[in-house]
RNA sequence: CGGAGAGUGGCGCAGUGGCAGCGCGCUUGGUUUGGGACCAAGAGGUCGCCGGUUCAAAUCCGGCCUCUCCGACCA
């Protein structure tokens, strides 16, 4: 590990981001362009996020299953908008076992089609509904410009797929799952998000309506952190997912799909990190507390006493918090402090000869880098409370940052000025008439896209920021990842 | 696919035709340890690939490949 300082966030955000990902050992570049290796520390973070999502999916009645990686090309082509949206980024297998394949196989970019095909086999009656399925999987999209965690050719995610008897049920499901994403993003990842509907041009290829949660990153750009789609009957019709209702009438199902990916790890890094490196929200941090013992070398007695206290700390906290000890003698305390700050551990416990003497420890919190000295007797009470406090603080801090960088505008000249130049100055809330033309013009002229039409809207209607015509709703505009 | 930059020990770089180097990391020994310690001795390289020029190429010429960053596209 090098001694070199990270590139400051303010100087070059993407250099900072790449350095943090690699030096914190979250991930590394793979030998194939656009592919990455998720290292144990990064994977542990993903597993914690998975647990929180999975728990909520199961609590709302969903069951996990697994569908194949390969999809017949013809499946993808069945839904018109779907193939249009995905064909540019498909990885296609043309040979197998040394022979050309009769029909090329697509490596799944998402699984609506193959799951739709299976739903057709499984669903016959209204009694079979709803079908509530989730799968944890990898998917492949041949992206032009990859970026660690945010956009890689292969990524990990969960994709939920459900089938319902009525439009209302499907709509309710899509919103229910979006709310779970809001909950996980805000309460686990400490990332404030704006929930809303995607515009027609930004919605999922083949969906009736797409819902999204949008977050603001540390460079004020927007990141889509999760999506949920009401697919209407589009896929049901393409794959003939039909059931007989109570009146013996054949009906098409209403389906949904929803996903959250390893991109969330990128969101966590870019929302909370600082010039020292990563800052992980306690609830998802693989290591919540790192203990750094300190002693003078050659003083065996002192070392024994310090390590004895460390054992006591482990006994007191080991059951309730994810705790590790870094007792490496080849690194000075200062080196270890920096190392664990780079890796984003929320709380550090420093314990050395002075502390032993006074029966105390030093707690250093990662978010504010503040140090507090407490009695060892208070550990069991103070450490979990501190973790909670950090979790809250991270969320509040990120929310404040987002709100400070969100502006409501009604004048297009001001809008343009706000979006001008490289980088981003934040989110704009503005009335928008809903037309594709205005949206496209705005994008062309400012590089800002509609991120979502938030559920929370002002009471009164207004005038479109671009064309000035009547507009029922406001949209969030921003430069996005 | 357009624009920019880079490929030389694990990482970061220097090296404009003549012995392949520096810093960090790594190994060993010793001294250290409350905010990125120090000393000493080591290990580690077909200089991205192919071809050409030359007595001689990391260096010059031609071609190719790869990666990163910025744009178009996207979870």
Query: What are the 10-residue block averages of pLDDT along chain A, 481 residues in total?
Result: 69 86 88 86 96 98 97 92 87 87 93 96 98 96 87 93 98 98 98 96 92 94 95 96 98 97 95 95 98 91 94 96 95 95 97 96 98 98 98 98 96 91 88 93 90 96 95 94 88
Residue closest to A429 by CA, chosen among A406, A463, A404, A449: A406
Size of chain A, expressed as the number of residues it contains = 481
- Judge whether residue A342 contacts strand B, using its CB and a 7 Å cut-off: yes
Q: In the complex, which nucleotide's C1' lies nearest to the CA atom of residue A352?
A: B34
Strand B interface, A 201-230, C-beta < 7 A: 204, 224-227
Nucleotide with C1' nearest the A22 CA? B11
Q: Token digits for A129? A: 């509904």
Nucleotides of B under 7 A from a protein CB: 1, 10-12, 23-26, 31-37, 66-75
Give the three-class secondary structure for A95: strand
- The distance of Cα A50 from the centroid of its chain, to the nearest Å, equals 11
Could you report the per-residue pLDDT of A178-204, keeping only the tens digit for each? 999 999 999 999 999 999 999 999 999
The nucleotide lying nearest A329 (C-alpha to C1') is B33
- Please name each of the domains of chain A with its CATH number: 13-272 (3.30.930.10), 289-387 (3.40.50.800), 406-478 (3.30.110.30)
Strand B–CB A333 distance below 7 A: yes
d(CA A166, CA A173): 11
- As for the ipTM of the complex, it is 0.89
Confidence (pLDDT) at A4: 65
The answer to whether the C-beta of A18 is closer than 7 A to strand B is yes
Q: How far apart are the first and last CA of chain A?
A: 30
Asked if residue A234 keeps its beta carbon closer than 7 A to nucleic acid strand B, the reply is no
pLDDT recorded at residue A1:
35
Q: How far apart are CA A267 and CA A372, in angstroms?
A: 29
Residue A268's SS3 state is: helix
Torsion, Cα of A438, A439, A444, A447 (10° steps): 140
Residue A197: count of CB within 10 angstroms of its CB: 20
Residues 6+ apart with CB under 8 A from A412: A465, A466
H or E element that contains A315: helix A300-317
CB-to-strand B under 7 Å, chain A 128-147: 141, 143-147
Gap between the Cα atoms of A40 and A51, Å rounded: 16
CA of A445 to C1' of B17 (A): 52
Report d(CA A383, CA A348) in Å as an integer: 10
The answer to whether residues A323 and A363 touch, using CB atoms and an 8 Å cutoff, is no
Distance CA A324, CA A181 (A): 30
Verify if strand B has an atom below 7 Å from the CB of A359. Answer: no
From residues 60-89 of A, which are strand B contacts by CB within 7 A? 85, 88-89
What's the CA gap between A103 and A73, in Å, rounded?
Answer: 7
Q: Residue A336: how many CA atoms within 13 Å on its side-chain side?
A: 20
Residue A456 is given by DSSP the state: S
């Amino acid at each position: 590990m090098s001694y070199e300082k990270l590139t400051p966030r303010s100087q070059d955000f993407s250099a900072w981001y790449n350095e943090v990902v690699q030096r914190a050992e979250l991930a590394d570049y793979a030998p194939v362009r656009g592919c990455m290796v998720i290292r144990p520390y990064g994977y542990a973070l993903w597993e914690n996020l998975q647990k929180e999502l999975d728990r909520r999916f199961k609590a709302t009645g969903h069951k996990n299953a697994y569908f194949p990686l390969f999809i017949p090309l013809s499946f993808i082509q069945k839904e018109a908008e779907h193939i249009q949206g995905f064909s540019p980024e498909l990885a296609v297998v043309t040979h197998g076992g040394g022979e050309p394949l009769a029909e090329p196989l697509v490596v799944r970019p998402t699984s609506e089609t193959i799951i739709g095909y299976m739903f057709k086999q499984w669903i016959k009656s209204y009694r079979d509904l709803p079908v509530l399925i989730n799968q944890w999987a990898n998917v492949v999209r041949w992206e032009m410009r990859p970026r660690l965690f945010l956009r890689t050719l292969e990524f990990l995610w969960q994709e939920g797929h459900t089938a319902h008897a009525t439009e209302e049920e499907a709509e309710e499901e899509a919103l229910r799952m979006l709310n779970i994403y809001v909950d996980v993003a805000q309460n686990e990842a400490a990332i404030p998000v704006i929930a809303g509907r995607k515009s027609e041009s930004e919605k999922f290829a083949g969906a009736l309506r797409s819902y999204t949660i949008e977050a603001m990153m540390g460079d004020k750009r927007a990141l889509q952190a999760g999506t949920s789609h009401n697919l209407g009957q589009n896929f049901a019709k393409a794959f003939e997912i039909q059931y007989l209702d109570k009146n013996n009438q054949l009906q098409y199902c209403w389906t949904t799909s929803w996903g959250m990916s390893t991109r969330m790890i990128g969101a966590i890094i870019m929302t909370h990190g600082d010039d020292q490196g990563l800052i992980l929200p306690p609830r998802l941090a693989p290591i919540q507390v790192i203990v750094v013992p300190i002693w003078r070398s050659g003083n065996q007695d002192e070392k024994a006493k310090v390590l004895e206290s460390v054992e006591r700390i482990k006994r007191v906290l080991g059951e309730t918090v994810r705790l590790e000890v870094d007792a490496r003698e080849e690194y000075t305390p200062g080196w270890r402090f920096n190392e664990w700050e780079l890796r984003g551990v929320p709380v550090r416990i420093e314990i050395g000869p002075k502390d032993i003497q006074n029966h105390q420890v030093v707690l250093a919190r990662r978010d504010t880098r503040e140090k507090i000295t407490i009695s060892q007797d208070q550990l069991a009470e103070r450490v979990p409370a501190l973790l909670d406090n950090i979790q809250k603080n991270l969320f509040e801090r990120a929310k404040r940052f987002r709100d400070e960088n969100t502006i409501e505008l009604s004048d297009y000249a001001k809008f343009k000025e706000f979006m001008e130049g490289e980088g981003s100055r934040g989110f704009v809330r503005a009335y928008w008439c809903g037309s594709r033309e205005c949206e496209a013009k705005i994008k062309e002229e400012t590089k800002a896209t509609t991120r979502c039409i938030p559920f929370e809207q002002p009471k009164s209607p207004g005038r479109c920021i671009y064309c000035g015509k009547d507009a029922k709703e406001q949209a969030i505009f921003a430069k996005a990842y």
